[in-house]
């Protein structure tokens, strides 16, 4: 067989596979509709989105993935199929820290897939309020953020908000040089958030020393300006490039590749155990010698790993400290529940912010 006959044969095979895929995806979508009908009859429509179930599906895909696609790619594809199926039940409305084109938006799309209705809001407070009022089903906010510098504000919001953490998203921070043209010649200004500029300093020093660096409020805003002004470029994400119709003049210009930011999904719902969960707590203790040591001892005694601890002033009194603690496991797990009961005895204040599946996509 010559080359063109070989290609023709393979393409015919691909067409047949796509026919089967389409049939299977449609069958899956009809199953999701059946689930929706059952939930409706049972009056469980508040629970139509099930982060625990979705996490289990994605974990299974990773486990069974035969390749050659990577586990990440396989999970991402099934993520999109689930997103489209869920939208048949009811499209999710997601509020995120905007503007359009930020990494928070990328994180929202990564977590929920593209079949959502998303709203860009101007501040973290507004995202909390939108979800609290029921105007959005869920919100996405940065928590350990190397680009937008708002970690503390998100943590502070949990002190007074009744919302729960329903999920987490790990988003690789990949920064590109974006512009209207096709190369870097003629660029006089580079816009970005100041931390993104800092993260690409070496690349900019080597390749664009002549251009003025201008810090703006977000990478989305930088992309908007680069799209509107000639002689300008932005350091921003791929999402920003798509949204503002910009070209990637240089890819992955961050000085330290592998940089990841963590985002939280906030909602009014508590999430059932998925088998691979994390729990976030807010815990306060009097400032006495050994207080933190005593406070955390129950985790050690019950064999629970702590993955993060962050301290903040409580604003309730000069002697109080508040700690944001992440542990492995679900608050409903026997060991975790026992440790939390002991912790409650020792703490002056304890709030479980949520148990949720660890990031799967």
Ligand X SMILES: C=C(O[C@@H]1C=C(C(=O)O)C=C[C@H]1O)C(=O)O
Residues that bind ligand X (CB under 6 A): 32, 35, 49-50, 53-54, 57, 82, 85-86
Q: In what order do the strands lie in the sheet with 260-267?
A: 116-121, 92-97, 138-144, 260-267, 164-172
Instruction: Report in angstroms how near the CB of residue 85 gets to ligand X at its nearest.
Output: 4
Whichever of 42 and 209 has its CB closer to ligand X, that residue is 42
Report cis status (omega within 30 of 0) of the bond before 68.
Answer: yes
Whichever of 35 and 297 has its CB closer to ligand X, that residue is 35
299 is catalytic: no
Angle between helices 103-112 and 71-89 (to 10 degrees): 80
Whichever of 34 and 212 has its CB closer to ligand X, that residue is 34
Instruction: Give the H or E element holding residue 216.
Output: none
Whichever of 28 and 351 has its CB closer to ligand X, that residue is 28
CA 309 from centroid of its chain's CA atoms = 20
Distance of alpha carbon 115 from alpha carbon 121, whole angstroms? 19
Whichever of 137 and 225 has its CB closer to ligand X, that residue is 137
Distance of alpha carbon 235 from alpha carbon 212, whole angstroms? 13
Distance of alpha carbon 135 from alpha carbon 127, whole angstroms? 10
263 is catalytic: yes
Instruction: Report in angstroms how near the CB of residue 309 gets to ligand X at its nearest.
Output: 31
In the three-class reduction of DSSP (H, G, I as helix; E, B as strand; rest coil), residue 259 is classed as coil
CB atoms within 10 A of CB 335: 15
Nearest to 103 by CA among 198, 200, 169: 169
Instruction: Report in angstroms how near the CB of residue 95 gets to ligand X at its nearest.
Output: 18
Per DSSP (E only), the strands in the chain are: 92-97, 116-121, 138-144, 164-172, 176-179, 189-192, 212-215, 232-236, 247-250, 260-267, 277-286, 306-313, 320-328, 349-357
Marked catalytic residue, from 102, 104, 147, 261: 261
Whichever of 138 and 158 has its CB closer to ligand X, that residue is 138
Instruction: Report in angstroms how near the CB of residue 54 gets to ligand X at its nearest.
Output: 5
Marked catalytic residue, from 263, 299, 323, 324: 263
Instruction: Report in angstroms how near the CB of residue 49 gets to ligand X at its nearest.
Output: 4
Phi, psi of 216, deg, nearest 5: -125, 175
Instruction: Report in angstroms how near the CB of residue 218 gets to ligand X at its nearest.
Output: 30
Residues forming the active site: 261, 263
């Amino acid at each position: 067989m010559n080359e063109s006959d070989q290609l023709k044969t393979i393409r015919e095979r691909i067409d047949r596979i796509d026919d089967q895929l389409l049939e299977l995806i449609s069958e899956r979508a009809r199953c999701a509709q059946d689930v929706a009908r059952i939930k409706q009859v049972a009056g469980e429509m508040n629970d139509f989105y099930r982060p625990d179930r979705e996490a289990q599906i994605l974990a299974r895909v990773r486990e069974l993935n035969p390749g050659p696609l990577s586990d990440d790619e396989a999970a991402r594809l099934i993520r999109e199929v689930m997103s489209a199926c869920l939208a048949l039940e009811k499209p999710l409305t997601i509020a995120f820290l905007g503007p359009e084109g930020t990494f928070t938006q990328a994180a929202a799309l990564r977590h929920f897939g593209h079949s959502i209705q998303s709203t860009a809001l101007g501040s973290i407070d507004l995202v909390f309020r939108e979800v609290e009022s029921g105007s959005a089903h869920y919100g996405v906010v940065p928590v350990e953020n190397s680009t937008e510098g708002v970690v503390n504000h998100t943590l502070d919001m949990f002190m007074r908000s009744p919302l729960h953490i329903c999920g987490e998203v790990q988003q690789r921070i990949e920064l590109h040089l974006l512009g209207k043209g096709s190369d870097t010649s003629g660029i006089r200004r580079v816009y970005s958030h100041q931390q993104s500029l800092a993260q690409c300093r070496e690349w900019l020093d080597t390749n664009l020393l002549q251009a003025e660096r201008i810090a703006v409020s977000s990478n989305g805003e930088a992309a908007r300006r680069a799209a509107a002004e000639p002689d300008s470029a932005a350091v921003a994400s791929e999402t920003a490039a798509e949204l503002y119709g910009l070209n990637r003049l240089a890819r992955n210009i961050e000085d330290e590749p592998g940089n990841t930011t963590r985002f939280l999904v906030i909602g009014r719902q508590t999430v059932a155990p998925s088998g691979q969960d994390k729990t976030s707590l807010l815990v306060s203790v009097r400032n006495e010698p050994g207080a933190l040591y005593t406070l955390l001892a129950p985790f050690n005694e019950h064999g629970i790993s702590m993955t993060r601890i962050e301290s903040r002033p409580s604003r309730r009194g000069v002697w109080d400290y508040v700690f944001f603690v992440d542990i492995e496991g679900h608050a409903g797990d026997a060991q975790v529940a026992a440790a939390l009961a002991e912790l409650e005895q020792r703490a002056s204040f304890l709030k479980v912010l949520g148990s949720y599946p660890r990031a799967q996509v």
